[in-house]
Amino acid sequence: MSQFHLKADCMRNLPPLARLRTFEAAARLQSFALAALELHLTASAISHQIRDLERHFGRALFERRHRQVQTTLEGRRLFESLGRLFDALEATCAEVQLPTHDEVLAVHCAPSLALKWLGPHLPSFVAQHPAINIRLTTGADPVDLGVVRDIDVALSYGSARHKAGLDVVSLGDERIAPLVSPALLVAREPASRAIQRLALIDSQLSPVGWAEWFQLNGLPLPLRPRPSFDRAAMAISAAADGMGVALESTRLAAREIERGELVVLGERSLQKIVRPVHFLSVRTTDRARAPVVAFVDWVRAQVA
């Protein structure tokens, strides 16, 4: 009972949804009269609801001028936040209205994998499974599917949460190699000399670092400042732009390599690090669900 009262008290701090909807329309249109037309209300009703909302917040949300209104700083902040909330609410309602033969698959993916690999490949999945609606979110930290119930499949980078009730598989070995723009290379210069000359780019979240690569190749690690990025995609882009050499997965950099924007430094003369760095996780209770099976099989086919 006490838990119910606590929730009810929290809800009392929120203004009525209808007032927020009225405010959003007035702020978007910058007009009480146009908001009244859109919401099928009178202009005086709009004005009355906005004043109620301003009393609730204890501050003005609009600057009122002759036949014109403009949001205050607080009003603009509220409008921007409401826009995101209403977009999310609209998307949720759209999912509820899907035909019964359509299904939603919520996928959470490491940002760089989503940008550099999953996103470019997704059109083929959509073409093969038009009745499955993908809802993709990204985040650097691995999600715990045992706790986060609104995610069906997780694609993580570096590591995955191994626990009872989860099936975790790697997406296969990836080549981690020094990637550089051809414009930075000098003809007939040995790769082992070029790597000493060029700037090295750090990927902060990468499970593979320069120290390991230099040790593998029996080369001294240059002791000089290195530009650093917290996303593999940013490190790859920096290398393609000519900032230096990035130690990254050739899977993530596949398009840049295919376009000739990046090459593997020392392709024939230097050692690459090969290991799994991306992982797919599903709940064991969900592994037989048709959309999950379809997506997992599709991912495995893409990395085969």
Q: What mean pLDDT do residues 102-121 have?
A: 91
DSSP string for residues in 79-98: HHHHHHHHHHHHHHHHHHTS
The per-residue pLDDT for 88 is 77
Lowest mean pLDDT among 32-41, 194-203, 205-214: 32-41
Count Cβ atoms below 10 Å from residue 122 Cβ, excluding itself: 16
Percent of the chain with pLDDT over 70: 92
Contact residues for 178 (Cβ-Cβ < 8 A; gap 6+): 195, 213, 245, 246, 247, 264, 265, 266, 270
pLDDT band of 107, cuts 50, 70, 90: very high
What are the φ and ψ backbone dihedral angles of 229, each rounded to 5 degrees?
-130, 145
Contact residues for 153 (Cβ-Cβ < 8 A; gap 6+): 105, 106, 107, 108, 280, 281, 282, 292, 295, 296
- SS3 (DSSP) at 253: coil
Report pTM.
Answer: 0.66
